[in-house]
Amino acid sequence: MTQAVNEALTIAEAAERSGVSTHTLRYYERIGALREPPERAPSGHRRYTERDLSWIELLTRLRATGMPIATMLRYTELAREGTSTAAERKALLLAHRAEVAARVDQLRHDLEMIDYKINAYDKIERERIGCPDLR
């Protein structure tokens, strides 16, 4: 059930709670990335519910993991269609997960190289000061 408009958050409050800017919230609304447009107060100001914030958090995490906006929009479109699209949404997320996992693996490999170089410089420094066995 939707929160009453007077219990919902202003755009500034929603931005603070979600960690995204008011500009981003307006952008997401404009491009159709929100599952539903936010309700409006009698004054016409946007009012965000906890459900809206939950969706914004999902979008934020998908974006942070590199999901393209077009894919986010497709996911949103499918979500609007209801449970009949669950398999397609799952497939979309599985594909994205595979891409994220590959990037994490690459980052682990890159981190190993950085650690290798740090250890090499530690060895050079120890040898320079005459303590080759210090670790």
Residue-wise pLDDT for 71-94, tens only, equals: 999 999 999 999 999 999 999 999
pLDDT band at 2 (very low <50, low <70, confident <90, very high): very low
Q: What is the pLDDT of residue 129?
A: 85
Average pLDDT (48-68) is 97
d(CA 79, CA 73): 10
Q: What is the pLDDT of residue 134?
A: 55
Q: Are 76 and 29 in contact (CB under 8 A)?
A: no
pTM here? 0.80
Nearest in space to 33 (alpha carbons), one of 57, 9, 7: 57
DSSP 3: P
Confidence check: pLDDT of 7 > 90: no
Q: What is the pLDDT of residue 39?
A: 92
Q: Are 79 and 34 in contact (CB under 8 A)?
A: no
Task: Say which CATH topology domain 1-81 has.
Answer: Multidrug-efflux Transporter Regulator; Chain: A; Domain 2 (1.10.1660)
Confidence check: pLDDT of 131 > 90: no
d(CA 38, CA 24): 14
pLDDT band at 1 (very low <50, low <70, confident <90, very high): very low
Range(s) for CATH 1.10.1660.10 in the chain?
1-81
Q: What is the pLDDT of residue 88?
A: 98
Residue 115, strand partner residues:
none
Q: What is the pLDDT of residue 128?
A: 85
